Amino acid sequence: MYVYDKKDILTAWLAFWFALNSSDYKGTISFVGVDPLMDTTRDISVVGGTGDFFMARGVATLMTDAYEQEVYFRLRVDINLYECW
């Protein structure tokens, strides 16, 4: 989900989930943060997860890989998880 919060700068509040179902990992990872769209890289918070990622915490670095105005965009996401218990 993207919620745009400013008129002068393309900045969005976002929340999204990755669902993984492979032989190595099963579960979801939850992300929440502010996404200044025109910045080259942006850091957002990893705030939880399910399955193998239960109670996940960390930082995800977003990079826009492809962007075509309002039609299409693709993000590259590098995720660093930290052990919390």
Which residues span the domain enclosing 58?
Answer: 2-82
Backbone angles phi, psi at 53, to 5 degrees: -110, 25
- Please report the pLDDT score of residue 34 as a whole number: 84
Distances (CA, A) of 48 to 5, 11, 65, 67, 81: 24, 23, 25, 28, 10
Q: Distance between CA 49 and CA 51 in Å, rounded?
A: 7
Give residue-wise pLDDT tens across range 47-71. Answer: 999 999 999 999 999 998 887 877 7
Cβ neighbours of 29 (radius 10 Å)? 24
Question: Total structural domains in the chain?
Answer: 1
0.85 exceeded by pTM: no
In the prediction, which pLDDT does 1 show? 58
Average pLDDT over residues 68-84: 84
